[in-house]
Structure 1
Amino acid sequence: MKIRTVLYIVIKKEMLQMKHIVCLGDSITDAQRLFSPDGLGYGYVKILSDQMPDDVLITNRGVDGFTVLRLLENVERDCISKMPDLVTILIGINDVGLIMGEEGRPERQNAYVERFRMTYRQLVKQIVEGTDAPVILMEPFLFPCPEKYKNWFPYVKILSKEVKKISRDYQTAFLSLHEPLNSLASEIGMDAVTSDGIHLTEEGHGFLARLLRQKMKELQKH
């Protein structure tokens, strides 16, 4: 029994060294990675990489336009096969866009929400079962700029609650973003944080990277 305990501690310690981090997401994560020399893009993934030791590899697998379904369809290639030590997921705003495209048709909107819930749950299940990596789920976020995006807020909140529940069920880390980012925008100005209400400025990406780095440090302490 003592030997098994020691082995578990060693394995756990190695896992939390986080030598390979895979970041999954949509255009916010992508941040034009295909046009950057190192493939990391120009957003929070790049900023995070610059803060990490040289022996830590970060792989950006964000794709512009992706929904949670597209992440699931590509999870084996983009994540599991890479044997990561940590996985981060930021997805959902394109799913909110699909839901709002059905405005006035509540049954179809509810069906989209249910599909999101089931697909996200399957995505996390496959990552948890297919790797030994801890996972950080980041909630979707949106800014009230332009004004019409205020109508999207209820569904951003609904999907965020679903992500948080999945995080609890699979014992992953959860990172709140909607309220912190909007608070920052209220403090320093909307244009300083977001370029269009969905995507982040350099300041916004830097703030997200700091929140994510702090969450990673919390994981390493446990």
Structure 2
Amino acid sequence: MTVTTAPSCRTLLFIGDSITDAGRREDPEQLGHGYVRLLAEHFAAHEPTATVINRGIGGDKVADLEARFGPDCLEHAPDLVTIYVGVNDSWHRFTRGEHVTEESFEQGYRRLLAQLAATVPGASVLMIIPFVADIDQERVQIHSDLDGKVAIIRRLAQEHGHRIVDLEQVLATALAAGHTPQSVADDGVHPTPPGHRLIADAWLDVAGR
């Protein structure tokens, strides 16, 4: 007699800013129309017992994620957490005059990772490297602030042994394949539908299909 083992029921949680949000708060399914929905559709086909939760909120910075990390992430006891934050910590310096220092950014991100390790120590963590597509000189200047924060994310990932989804590399590969900056992110920050597909594919390459 063959004994069938019940499949595990994983919870995959995504937390971040508008790129993760992608309209999920107006979506009855709370998935939005971006890369998280694409991944939810993938898992609906290939791992139907998995639960995909989107907790992105447009405009969020590291400090905002930290303020809501308990109810929006930890209380769900996720098996896999994806953190995608950092663009607003730099972009808003130029659009709103809000300067988030590298020290403050690193301290906030460290506290997120420490809370995860303490509360859900068995959870896998994926850290997404934010990108800016250089559609004009205004977007180019964001790198002067963002590059240092990207270096912090890379260092923290290595320090904690977490995997990264490297969207800087994804963007470079897309441009080499014939994309323009606008075809990946028409305002330089928010991905187009092809841009969201590139993010979802890169996530699957790292997390496993």
Please give the TM-score of this superposition, normalised by the length of structure 1.
0.83
Check conservation: 2:17, 2:60, Cα contact below 8 A: yes
Check conservation: 1:136, 1:175, Cα contact below 8 A: yes
Deviates more, 1:179-188 or 1:87-96: 179-188
Deviations 1:7-54 (A, max 9, x none): xxxxxxxxxx67100001000000000122311000000000100122
When you count helix as a share of all residues, which structure comes out higher?
A: 1
| Gap regions ≥5 residues in structure 1 | 1-16
Deviations 1:187-220 (A, max 9, x none): 22233211211000110000100000111118xx
1:208 aligns to what? 199
Check conservation: 1:75, 1:123, Cα contact below 8 A: yes
* Poorly superposed stretches of 4+, deviation over 3 Å: 98-103
Call closer, same or farther: CA 1:102–1:27 in 2, change over 3 Å: closer
1:40 aligns to what? 31
Identity of aligned residues (%): 26
Verify: 1:149 aligned to 2:139, yes or no: yes
Aligned length in residues:
198
Deviations 1:164-203 (A, max 9, x none): 1111121111121123224414522233211211000110
Provide the rounded CA distance (Å) in 1 between the counterparts of 2:19 and 2:55: 11
Check conservation: 2:9, 2:49, Cα contact below 8 A: no
Call closer, same or farther: CA 1:153–1:84 in 2, change over 3 Å: same
1:162 aligns to what? 152
In structure 2, give the amino acid aligned to 1:125: A
1:180 aligns to what? 170
Provide the rounded CA distance (Å) in 1 between the counterparts of 2:9 and 2:19: 22
Deviates more, 1:145-154 or 1:45-54: 145-154
Verify: 1:124 aligned to 2:119, yes or no: no
Provide the rounded CA distance (Å) in 2 between the counterparts of 1:143 and 1:190: 5
1:10 aligns to what? none
Call closer, same or farther: CA 1:100–1:191 in 2, change over 3 Å: closer
Provide the rounded CA distance (Å) in 1 between the counterparts of 2:165 and 2:117: 17
In structure 1, give the amino acid aligned to 2:90: V
Provide the rounded CA distance (Å) in 2 between the counterparts of 1:204 and 1:139: 14
Provide the rounded CA distance (Å) in 1 between the counterparts of 2:164 and 2:183: 25
2:42 aligns to what? 51
Partner SS state of residue 74, structure 1: helix
1:67 aligns to what? 61
Please give the TM-score of this superposition, normalised by the length of structure 2.
0.88
In structure 2, give the amino acid aligned to 1:180: V
RMSD over aligned Cα, in angstroms?
Answer: 2.1
Partner SS state of residue 101, structure 2: helix
Deviates more, 1:23-32 or 1:149-158: 149-158
